[in-house]
Each structure stands twice: as structure tokens, then as C-alpha cells.
Structure 1
Amino acid sequence: MTMQLLTPDYIFESSWEVCNKVGGIYTVLSTRAKTLQDAFPDKIYFIGPDVWIGKENPLFIEDNECLKEWRKHAIESDHLKIRIGRWNIPGNPIAILVDFTPFFSEKNEIYTKMWEDFQVDSLHAYGDYDEASMFSYAAGKVVESFYRYNLTLQDKVVYQAHEWMTGMGALYVQKAVPQIATIFTTHATSIGRSIAGNNKPLYDYLFAYNGDQMAQELNMQSKHSIEKQTAHHVDCFTTVSEITNNECKELLEKPADVILMNGFEDDFVPKGTKFANKRKKARKTLLTMANALLGTQLGDDTMIIGTSGRYEFKNKGINVYLEALNRLTRDKNLKKEVLAFINVPGWVGEPREDLRKRLDSKETFNTPLECPFITHWLHNMNHDQVLDMLKYLDMSNAADSRVKVIFVPCYLDGKDGILNELYYDLIIGTDLSVYPSYYEPWGYTPLESIAFKVPTITTDLAGFGLWVNSLKGRPGVLQDGVKVIHRTDYNYSEVADTIKDTISEFSSLSETEINKIRNNAAKIAEKALWKHFIEAYYRAYDIALRNASKRLSFKVEKSLN
């Protein structure tokens, strides 16, 4: 007989990225919101930092009627500075934004209490630690105020905190309102990311690393401490993939209770003729810009490939992508011209005026602009990793080279001054994407790519790549729509060769074969929709509620004895 899962009556989630689009967690929360809002209408509350005070935030629609009585009480009696409204995303869930700055004056007392109650070491705090911790604590205070005003012991309540930045709030809630079940989700361990980013081999030596020792070596003690203590103390500890769970076991000395894989919604993918038209338009935009920059006449049969994401040169595998493209210039099996993009925001200055002029004129040009690798000037043209590597590899973008590389170093928000299209409206025009990550807890970029029927190349060091392998029962191949390359600490050169060979192979396929691969890619994307992955969240709620209940009974017993 299967045990009935306990379901919460109220869910609170706190993250630095609620109504604040700064990274991948925004995608997790904003795409999942509708699924949870449908299941728990207006009983799911997202808590974020009010970092937009006095500025217009397009993602937040304030509503003074929402939770009106409690809001008045929270502001007047509990002295919390909050704004309540709706998060402007599908599902429009309730969002509570909190101004955490008033808590800075109590910082030392808060840190002392965290040390006494949970051995959280805030002594070595620097950078964003204080800001994150004060927000986290403020979010905990908000939940405590809501609970005491609106709820009783009969209500089943879950508080889910995302990343080390909200750990302190989860611990505060557990101590102040022990009736609330706590969940902590780490999307990447701070130490794992730091080891990888500092060019130390992460995977072969993972078993030998001691998280506390590495935290000291990498000057990360406080972030590591809050992350580790939260993982050990909450009612349910979760992470986003098997590969990150291995880090949790070794570096935090605590395996996850549940793995919450990152799903998505495909409501941003156009259908039917709209899809075909958008793809055509995207290709035209990309080729027109490339021809203006390079002084070439690349036609529609050009194979357009791309990579994108955060500018983490090694972790995201940008270095190995460039290496592969360089080797491709000498590949005899390449059947098409290749136009390769790197859509990664750098330290961008202004859009190139010379390129803008060419795009605005009706002429065709047969000479390249100077520095024909980049669409926008950078503040650090002489010290940019992408440009440095292109120079080192002696890539030329010359008219007779079969492989051209263009770096688009800005956010594709529709108003960058050169392409002026949204990221999703451009990715649809590519033929193949490459995400050869070295460190990637999940990997939304390859998943978004296949949602647009663009086959992708990734690695088994990305959570997404591992998931595809588990889906197929073997490593993913190009014909599946997702090619998953085996990557280790030391096989950089083989990875570059495999990428080169896969691009070559793709260039010789017929239209029928390509369409089959594109449809297979879309089939894999369908399996990652939230309706499939949300089940894991329900298991996490159940574990948290049961453990909180045990914790409470134990407390009661202890006080009776």
C-alpha cells in the first residue's frame, strides 16, 4: 500500500531572484510558479528582496488590497518594511518584497544568535554575505509574522529557501516558528563552484576534498558554513541533480533527501507557421548582421551554431567550444560554412557605431570591419578571455575561412542596439547549440535550445546531460537531439575533437535526417516540463512536514520530561 503524501496548506519560498532577474534560479521559480499556483491557488507566497525601492520594477505589480489586514499589522506592529503584490509571470502568484536594510543595525546580534543556535560562522563574512544574510533573516521574519497573524497549529506550512543566500532565514524560521516545515535547496555548492572556477580538478578528487578545509583555503568559510549548517538542520535538504548531489555528499557531508530537477514551461515556444516565420526572421537577422560585420555574403544554407549563458569561461566550456571551432577550420569533412555565435554578456561598452551604420545602409560590403569578431565594444578589449583566445588561436574570420566566430557580449533583451531581438527570438534561428560545460549543476540553456527544436551538444558534467543519459539508458547521441559528451577533469582535447566531429557530421546530413533530429530534440524537452518534475516537490513537502512533526513531538516530550 502506498502511503498518502502529506500536502501543505501554505507554501512560502524565498529567493534573491523573486521579482529580480539575475540568474538561473529566476528561471526555476518563474516557470514553476504557474504549476504550483494552479495546485495551491494563492496559498503559495514568494518572498524576494525589495532592491527596486523607488524604481519601477516591471516584474512586480503592487496591490494594496492583497493580504491587507496582515500587511497593516506586519508594518505597524512587527515593524517590517514590505510591499505586497503579484509577480508579473504566468500564474501571477502573490509576491512579498521585503526591505532588509533596517536589519543591518542588528547584524552582530543576529550572527551571534546563529552561532549559538546552529554554529553558523559569520566571522569571515565579506562581499555579498551580509546583504544576503540580512535579506534572508528579514524573509524569515516575514513568514513568522504571517504565521502568527493568520495561521494555527492545524495549518500545514512549508518554507522553502533557495541557495546559501536564504539559509539563515530557514534556520531562523525553524527556531522561531518550529511548527513550520523547512526545505533548503542548493542549486550549486559554493565550494564546488569555487574549486571548479579556481582551475582545481573537481571530479577526480572530489572524494578527497574536505569542504571545511577547502572553504578556508578559498576564503569561503562563512558562505560554506551557512550552506552546510542549513543543509544539516532543515527538515528536508534538496538539490537539483545527481552531479550536484555528489558535491553535497562530499563537501557538505550531507546527501540530499530529494533531487528536485529543474523543469520549465514551453509556453514561450511558438507553434506551427508562427514557429517557421520566427525561425526565418531570426536567421535573416543573424546573417545580415554577420555579413555587415565580416563583409561577406553568407547565405541561408550557412550552418548557424551558438553557445550562451553566464560568462564563466572554463565552467561553461566556452574555452573548449573555441578550441573545437579552431580545429573545425581545418576539418576536411565539413560540408557547410559555419557561423558560430558566443552570446555571453561581458563587460559591455556601447554598440559598434560602424556596424550600426552598415546595418542601416542598403549597401552590400565586401571588406570586414576592424576587429570582425565582436558586435559591441568592451570596456576591457585588451583583457577579455574570448578575444584573447581567438587571438591566441589565430582565428581570422577571413572570407575564405569556413568557420566564422562572432562574440555578442550583451544581454539579448531586444534593445542592445545591434540585433535588437530577444534571446528566444534568436535561438530559434540556429541549427545546433553547444554547451560543453565543465561545471553545470543543471543546465537550462541546452534545455531551452531543444525546446526550440535546436539539437544540442552538452556533457555528462551537466545535470541536464546526465538526465538525458538516464532517460536514454545510454549516452545521448546526435540522432537523439542531444549529444552528451563524456567529460572529465583532463580530457579537454578529446571533448574539443568530439564537438568538431559532431558539427562536421551534422553539416553532411540531409534535410530529412535533420528534421528527424529536431523532432527528437523536442520530444526530450517535453519530458522536462514541470508537470513531470513537480512530483519531486510533492515528495519534498511530505518529507519536510513529517520531519517537522517528529521534531515538534520530540520537543514536547523533552519539555514534559
Structure 2
Amino acid sequence: MAFHEMLAPDYIFESSWEVCNKVGGIYTVLSTRVRTLLNLFKKDKIFFIGPFLHKKESNIEFIESETILDSWRKYANEQEGLKVRVGYWNIPGKPITILVDFLPFYEEKDIIYFQMWEKYHIDSTVAYGDYDDSCMFAYATSKVIESLYHFLQLQGKKVIAHLNEWMLGMAVLYIHKYLPTVATLFTTHATSIGRSICANNKPLYGQLSNYNGDQMASELNIKGKHTLEKLAAFYANCFTTVSEITGKECTQLLEKKPDIIIPNGFDSDFVPKGKMFETKKVKARSVLINVIQKLIGLSIPENAFLLATAGRYEYKNKGIDVFIETIYRLKKTYFDRPIIAFVLVPACLQGARADLKERLENAVSSQFPLPRPFITHELVGPLCNDPICEYLYYLNFTNEDDSQVKIIFVPSYLNGEDGIFNMVYYDLLIGMDLTVFPSYYEPWGYTPLESIAFHIPTITTNLTGFGIWAKSKGAKSDTLDLGVAVVERTDDNYFETAEAIKNIIVKYITKYDSSQILNIQRTSCALSKKAFWSHFIKYYLQAYDVALRKL
């Protein structure tokens, strides 16, 4: 259907737990899509809704305004008991954003849960962890949308409420029941039950057709989340997910086929250009190598080969275990220059290592390694309780002098204030020569896409939405010629996957000359441009059309 034939919303309300609150990939989805969305719709017709987290009262992500929606804010607070902050999300495009305090709704929690049981048979007693906070935030979000809908007199307008992840499932159900003239769009970025199956070391892909989502949710004790997500998928006017591989998962485990696949796009505005790119690259490598030298007590040449994996601490799902196994296998190959691998994965952190920080601040020329010369920060609790450290100990990864291959665990969130690097993730990423993201469960996969946007070739797997997309664009399983290699991974070929990745890395380091590598870097960047939001936004427009027509 042509764009001019589609039904387009007059107003869009979009909500996620990650609005002004960077936790994972959904933050990137929303924040990078804003500018493209604002090119199509008026700025004062799009509202993002996120959680007001009291521990972040000085949230740099949020710019509060006393004038935007001022009369509504006062009315909502005084007449409806809604405690909200109104302003802008501090990202390119600066969309109007409402942060809502969901804690007051805890007083009504039992009544809300009873209503959800009475109407939808959602058993909220079989839930744990972030379930309560998520549901109270979803309920608060729906009350905000309801309040604005009536205050702005949107009756007769085409209004979309776009709600992301199971955490906003209760908002889908509330709007369906109490605000039926608003079209709901529900996106699951990863099913709660699929993620749980993988996290509990159960095979997902080979057994997918044999799994019953409800049964597995009971077995894995996430019945509340799963039921909420499943019902949100059924009751939404349009149900979407981010990749074909997750679409199959939804069809089997939620028993609802997505109406539309809306792949995650990208905006390269934060990728430096021209001389700035080279300046940042040189600085990143200098900082990375300096930290390594101070940690391991050895001089590292400038031509050291730097590679990394990154993401949330999902040891198996993100393939962190496979990455470490791959680096271990690299030790058995001779290289004429050092290979330094970084695991950039935030963990339960105590703070920066005092001994390493002292060496860095005092520019100490060290001739001996620090204790535990494979980790840059202190963890809460013994290192043997941490899966990454445990595997490094098991493989005897002590970064000894005679090994050209070394590995460094950076367990801090790289926000520019970690105490060791004091640079944000992207400003360190640009210094890498290669990245590896051997995920087992990854509905899309922003980290490899970000990597190639920074001209850094990447290796991923066919079990990621991005990997499947890259294969459709010509990426191969055994070469980085197009800037991306997509290794075949299954439920049980763990060691084969590590060996395949090792072979690609060895070939890239030893067989390609500088001109070939430069060409691959350019090719990888060119591929990333095919995933810009300017190409992918059409799927959102289709989803809006489906939701409005179904309404």
C-alpha cells in the first residue's frame, strides 16, 4: 500500500521503561528513531512516556520544562493525582516527554491485580522481580494517556498508543477496556518466555515446535509475565516484533503471529565524521592501550589488534561464554603482534580498582602486573562467583608475559564516569579493530549494527535478527569481506561456533593486507546505511495503518 493510502495517526503516545532510562537495546530503538519520526509527524503530536525514577532526580537524559503542557500538568496533579514531570528527552530531536511517578499506584495494587484477574485471568501472585514495578508503571502510563486524551479533546482524532514489551502489557489491556477509541500497537522485542527458556539452559530452536508457552511459563515460574504479554499481543490492535526469528517464537509461544515485523533501524548522527572520526579513533586506542599496560605491567605496541564483545550481562544468551572460548583458542595460534580482547559487559560493580586508578592517575611506569590482571573494576562479592571470571580462571587466563593473546574484563557501565576509562561506550568502540557478538538469543542485535556503523567489521550469528538481515544482504558465514560474518549457530554446536569464529579472526589478522582491511571497513559502514531508519520507518507506518484500520 502506498504511503498516501495509509491511515496516519494524528497523535502518537509511545511508552517504554527505557524512555530517558538507558537499560538495553530498546533505548536505542526509541532514541534513534525519534528524528525520522519527527520528520513525518509534528513534534507537538508525539509524546513519549517513561518512568520517573526517584533515584534519578537529576537525570541528564531529561530536560524539564515549566511551559510544555503546563495547564494539563497542573490539572493532572491536582484533579487526578497524577504526579508527572514534563519536558524533553535529551536526544537528537528532543521529543516531548512525560515522566510519570508510578509509586503512588502501589496503594491500589491489590485492586488493580484483582481487576486484571477478574477480567483477564492474569495471576499476579505467580510473578517476581520487576513485575510489580512494571505493572504499576504500565497502569500509570495508561492513566496519563487517558488523561491527555480527554484534556486535549482528542475524540474523533486518530490516536495511537504504542506500548513496548510485556512491561507495558497492562497498559494495552487498560486502554482496550477503558479507552477503546485509541488504537493500541504492542511490540515485543523479546518474549519473556523465550528469554527464560534460554536463560535456564534449555534448547530453544530445535525444540521450539514442541514447546507450549503456557506450560513452560508455569515450569519456569514466570506465568504472570507470560500471561500478560500473551494477552497484550491478542488484545492490541496491531501486534509487532522486531525480526522473523522472534516472529516464529511469538507464533509458537504466545500463540499469536505478529501482524507486522518492524526491524530495528539506526541513526548514525552520533558517528563522528571526517577528521573527528580519526581523532576519536586515535584517542580511544591510546586510552585502551594505556589501561592495558598499567593493568598487566607490559608495554603494548600501537599496532596491537583490539577486539571486543559487549552488551547486557546475559552470559549464554549474548554468547559471552563463546567469546571467551574463542579467545582461548586464539592462544594456540602464532601472531606477530599482541591480540587484546575486551569483554565490555556491566556486572554487579563495587567501583574502579584503586590500584589501577592510582597507576593511571600518577602515570606510574609499571614493570609488573597487578593482582588479577584481567579485570579493571572491583565486583561485589568474590570473583569466583562471577561466571565470566570463573571461566577465565578455569581457562587459566592470567594474561601471562609469554602469551600474545590477552583478555580484559571491563565490568562497568561505560557512561564516561567509570573511574578507569572515563569515556562513553561509543568513544571506546571506535578504537577497536573487530567486534564479536556470538549471541544464542538475540531478537535483533544493535551492538553489531553499531559496530559496522563505526567502520568496525563484526562477527555475529544466524540466531540474531541482525544476522538474518545481514545474510539477506549477502553476508557470508566464513568471511568478513562484506564487513559482517554470520556464523551458523544451533542449540548444541557451542565449540564448533567458537572454532568457526576463531578461524575468521585468524584469517582477518593474518591474510588481509592494509588496503583490504580498509576496503572491508568501508564496506561494513556502507552496509550499516542500509539499516537506517529512513529505510525501516515504513514498517512503522504500516503498523500504524493496521492498528487504526482494526480499531
Tell me, yes or no, whether TM beats 0.5. Answer: yes
Distance 1:481 1:235, change over 3 A: same
**Shift of the alpha carbon at 1:382?**
2.5
1:20-169 correspondence runs (5 A): 20-40=21-41, 41-52=43-54, 55-169=57-171
Distance 1:356 1:54, change over 3 A: closer
Q: Secondary structure at the match of 1:188?
A: coil
CA distance in 2, matches of 1:244, 1:288: 41
Contact 2:479/2:504 (<8 A) preserved: no
CA distance in 2, matches of 1:173, 1:372: 54
**Shift of the alpha carbon at 1:475?**
4.8
Name the aligned partner's letter for residue 17 of structure 1.
E
Aligned to 1:551: none
1:372-521 correspondence runs (5 A): 372-380=373-381, 381-472=383-474, 475=477, 477-508=479-510, 509-521=512-524
Name the aligned partner's letter for residue 536 of structure 1.
Y
**Shift of the alpha carbon at 1:109?**
2.2
Aligned to 1:555: none
Contact 1:476/1:482 (<8 A) preserved: no
Moved more, 345-354 or 191-200: 345-354
**Shift of the alpha carbon at 1:431?**
0.2
Moved more, 193-202 or 130-139: 130-139
Name the aligned partner's letter for residue 72 of structure 1.
K
Contact 2:61/2:90 (<8 A) preserved: yes
Distance 1:351 1:153, change over 3 A: closer
Aligned to 2:528: 525
Structure 2 unaligned runs (5+)? none
CA-based RMSD of the aligned residues comes to 1.6
Q: Secondary structure at the match of 2:48?
A: strand
What number of residue pairs does the alignment pair up? Answer: 547
Correspondent of 1:245 among 247, 271, 294: 247
Aligned to 1:556: none
Distance 1:308 1:144, change over 3 A: same
**Shift of the alpha carbon at 1:474?**
5.8
Aligned to 1:227: 229
Aligned to 1:346: 347
Contact 2:475/2:485 (<8 A) preserved: no
**Shift of the alpha carbon at 1:390?**
1.1
Q: Secondary structure at the match of 1:39?
A: coil
TM-score, normalised by the number of residues in structure 1 = 0.95
Contact 2:173/2:232 (<8 A) preserved: yes
Aligned to 1:538: 541
Map Cα deviations across residues 466-511 of structure 1 (whole Å, 9 max, x no partner): 1101122765831110110000001111111011111111112110
Map Cα deviations across residues 500-558 of structure 1 (whole Å, 9 max, x no partner): 1111111121100100110111011111111111110000000000000xxxxxxxxxx
Q: Secondary structure at the match of 2:378?
A: strand
Distance 1:106 1:476, change over 3 A: farther
Name the aligned partner's letter for residue 284 of structure 1.
S
Contact 1:468/1:476 (<8 A) preserved: no
CA distance in 2, matches of 1:76, 1:354: 53
Contact 2:476/2:484 (<8 A) preserved: no
Distance 1:428 1:53, change over 3 A: closer
Q: Secondary structure at the match of 2:265?
A: coil
Structure 1 unaligned runs (5+)? 549-561
CA distance in 1, matches of 2:71, 2:371: 63
**Shift of the alpha carbon at 1:363?**
4.8
Q: Secondary structure at the match of 2:290?
A: helix
Contact 1:51/1:99 (<8 A) preserved: yes
Distance 1:60 1:361, change over 3 A: closer
Moved more, 380-389 or 439-448: 380-389
**Shift of the alpha carbon at 1:335?**
4.5
CA distance in 1, matches of 2:472, 2:342: 30
CA distance in 1, matches of 2:19, 2:364: 46
Contact 1:336/1:507 (<8 A) preserved: no
CA distance in 1, matches of 2:281, 2:471: 28
**Shift of the alpha carbon at 1:359?**
2.2
Q: Secondary structure at the match of 1:182?
A: strand
Aligned to 1:290: 292
Contact 1:211/1:250 (<8 A) preserved: yes
**Shift of the alpha carbon at 1:287?**
0.9
Moved more, 30-39 or 459-468: 30-39
